[in-house]
């Protein structure tokens, strides 16, 4: 299921624009420009941003923003498991 989080990677201030852009699948720069434009039109948008920064949770560890191919994100999670890392280290040592 697709969830809305504040982004850790696409972050300028609190990660709200980055998280929203990833959620609706647009470029984070366009989302930031949209917020700036809305702020120029109505400075009250700043209050909405602050509320969003408080309400929207930060992206947890292990959550990947690849909603189009969930198999790929599950594969990434499997690669992060300690057993797989140890196996890969052993294979690397054997090859060298």
26-71 pLDDT, tens digit per residue, is: 888 898 999 999 999 999 999 999 998 999 888 877 766 554 444 4
Task: Answer yes or no: do 57 and 73 share one domain.
Answer: no
In a shared domain, residues 1 and 31: yes
- Does 42 share its domain with 87? no
Residue 83: band (very low, low, confident or very high) from pLDDT cuts 50, 70, 90 = low
Q: What is the pLDDT of residue 39?
A: 93
pLDDT of residue 88: 65
State whether 1 and 13 are in the same domain.
yes
Quick one: pLDDT at residue 1? 72
Closest CA to 16 of 48, 63, 62: 48
Q: For the chain, what is the domain count? A: 2
pTM of the model: 0.57
Per the structure block, which two tokens stand in for 75?
């594969």
Written as six digits, the tokens of 32 are 């930031």
Determine whether 61 is exposed, middle or buried from the number of CB atoms within 10 Å of its CB (0-12, 13-18, 19+). exposed
Same domain, yes or no: 59 and 74: no
Residues 60 and 70 in one domain: no
Domain, as residue range, for 43:
1-65
Q: Do 27 and 61 have their domain in common?
A: yes
| 85 and 41 co-located in one domain | no
């Amino acid at each position: 299921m697709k969830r809305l989080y504040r982004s850790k990677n696409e972050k300028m201030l609190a990660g709200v624009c980055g998280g929203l852009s990833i959620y609706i699948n647009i470029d984070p720069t366009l989302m930031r420009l949209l917020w700036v434009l809305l702020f120029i039109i109505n400075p009250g948008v700043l209050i909405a941003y602050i509320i969003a920064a408080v309400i929207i949770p930060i992206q947890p560890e292990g959550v990947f923003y690849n909603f189009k191919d969930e198999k790929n994100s599950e594969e990434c999670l499997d690669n992060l498991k300690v057993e797989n890392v140890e196996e890969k280290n052993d294979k690397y040592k054997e090859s060298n």
